[in-house]
Amino acid sequence: MNHIILNAINPFVPIILIGVLIIITLILILAERLLGGGGDKVIRINKKKELPVQGDDTLLNVLTQNKIFIPSACGGKATCGFCKVRVLEGGGEMKPTEEPFMSKDEIERNVRLSCQVKVREDMDIAIPEGLLEAQEYVGEVVKVETLTYDIKLIRFKLIEPNKMEFKPGQYAQLKVPGLDVIRAYSIASDPKDTQNIELIVRLVPKGLATTFVHRAMLTGDKIILTGPYGDFYLREDSDRDMIMIAGGSGKAPIRSILYRLKDLGMPRKVKYFFGAKSKRDLYYSEEFEQLEKEFDNFEYIPALSEPLDEDDWQGEVGLITDVVDRMTDDLSEAEAYLCGSPGMIFACIKVLEKHDIKDENVLFDKFD
Ligand SMILES: Cc1cc2nc3c(=O)[nH]c(=O)nc-3n(C[C@H](O)[C@H](O)[C@H](O)COP(=O)(O)OP(=O)(O)OC[C@H]3O[C@@H](n4cnc5c(N)ncnc54)[C@H](O)[C@@H]3O)c2cc1C
Ligand code: FES
């Protein structure tokens, strides 16, 4: 009896299965439509520009594909916090991966990590106008100069496009060839020279990008750079006295700012503190000493925290924060430019506050 029933049902089984599959597919297509997955979407930028895009990728990737280069130093892994944009409409709920990077104010202003937001529907976003000017460049390495045992200067001649306009103090991103690794480096060169970009790179032990730059990069290499980025740049509309503090490779953006101030005839009083461990960590001292000779308004104060006997060091000794503290008067009308590790910047801000600096007059670039 069973045998007879099975024989009777068997011919319909494949038809039923195909039917079920068709229904599931239709449900999935419907769900995709309702949830707004792939397909044509529009991203409105700053209420002006409308960007027709293919959805279902991250906002960061979709913008990059459309030549809008948002900074991103971790390749979209939600570990650098660089890729922030304001998402005014669309984009869904904030993910737990984004929360550690957001201040209360940023959450209220709908700031999101663009690498964590999927484009599933039309979106309305706001990004700083300056970012719309960032471009991708091919740069040829034309000089690799050893400045200290762990710091090198790299000079790139820009090939395509062949000019980058940047504000002194801003940074570029360098893509390590063959690896999904992008890192930020402050532009150390003269902003007048738009055809060449110089970066000062300190070797980080086991660091992916810096090991490449120090051990493998050669003149003639073609490297992808993006930029310019960042709001750490010389405020040219200000005439306040300036205090600059840098450590390690933090000299890079300050050097670019000083090129510009030199061109302007050093119109402001500048006191530049540079902190290093011992004499072997100092570099470009002659450049800054020369500037001191040229301009009464400019003072360069290198300080060593652990000078060696053989250094025969006659200059300032101590942690840079202590040196700044003892050589600084009232800063209530001054403007500060700080550049270096997050720890150094945090400690410097504390000292500057002791001397009455105003929060809004402190600019810094954390090399984290
Ligand atoms: C706006 C900005 C501007 C910057 N400008 C410069 C610049 O002009 N010159 C420059 O040399 N660097 C600069 N940096 C730092 C740079 O972007 C890289 O983070 C750094 O070079 C390390 O990259 P890496 O790939 O070699 O190391 P990674 O592979 O990223 O790191 C390897 C390991 O080292 C640790 N690490 C990372 N960075 C440091 C560090 N600085 N000191 C100690 N340990 C570290 C990491 O936690 C990790 O454990 C800047 C960073 C920012 C955000
Ligand atoms: S790209 Fe690094 S957090 Fe988004």
What pLDDT sits at residue 159? 97
Residue nearest to atom 3 of ligand 2 (CA): 78
DSSP 8-class letter at 264? T
Q: Which residues contact 205 (CB under 8 A, 6 or more apart)?
A: none
DSSP 8-class letter at 187? B
What pLDDT sits at residue 1? 46
State in Å, rounded, how far the first CA of the chain is from the last one: 77
Q: Which residues of the chain have pLDDT under 70?
A: 1-9, 11, 14, 17-18, 20-22, 24-38, 368
DSSP 8-class letter at 216? I
Ligand lying nearest the CA atom of residue 230? 1
CA pair distance 271, 329, nearest whole angstrom: 12
Token output for 129: 């106008």
The domains spanning 40-131 and 134-229 adopt the same CATH topology: no
**359 burial type by CB count under 10 A (0-12 exposed, 13-18 middle, 19+ buried):** exposed
Token output for 298: 């400019």
pTM over 0.75: yes
What pLDDT sits at residue 249? 83
CA pair distance 270, 234, nearest whole angstrom: 12
What pLDDT sits at residue 338? 96
CA pair distance 66, 58, nearest whole angstrom: 12
Ligand 1 pocket residue status of 82, Cβ below 6 Å: no
Q: Print the SS3 string covering 4-25.
A: HHHHHHHHHHHHHHHHHHHHHH
- The rounded Cα 99 to chain-centroid distance in angstroms is 19
- Ligand 2, residue 80: give the atom nearest the CA: 2
- What is the CA(71)–ligand 2 centre distance, in A? 8
For the domain covering 134-229, report its CATH number. 2.40.30.10
Sign of CA dihedral 271, 275, 280, 284: negative
Ligand 1, from 101, 185, 197: best to mutate by most atoms within 8 Å of Cβ? Answer: 185
Q: Would you list the domain boundaries of the chain?
A: 40-131, 134-229, 242-366
Does domain 242-366 fall under CATH 3.40.50.80? My reply is yes
Token output for 78: 């939600």
Q: Which residues contact 298 (CB under 8 A, 6 or more apart)?
A: 258, 261, 266, 270, 272, 291, 292
Ligand 1 pocket residue status of 256, Cβ below 6 Å: no
Token output for 177: 């060839």
Ligand 1 pocket residue status of 209, Cβ below 6 Å: yes
347-112-174 Cα angle (round to 5): 65
For the chain, percent helix, then strand, then coil, each to nearest 5? Answer: 30, 30, 40
The DSSP string of 268-309 is: S-EEEEEEESSGGG--SHHHHHHHHHH-TTEEEEEEESS--G
CA distances from 207 to 36, 176, 213, 214 (A): 40, 12, 10, 10
Convert the pLDDT of each residue in 161-180 to its tens digit.
Answer: 999 999 999 999 999 998 87
Class of domain 40-131: alpha beta
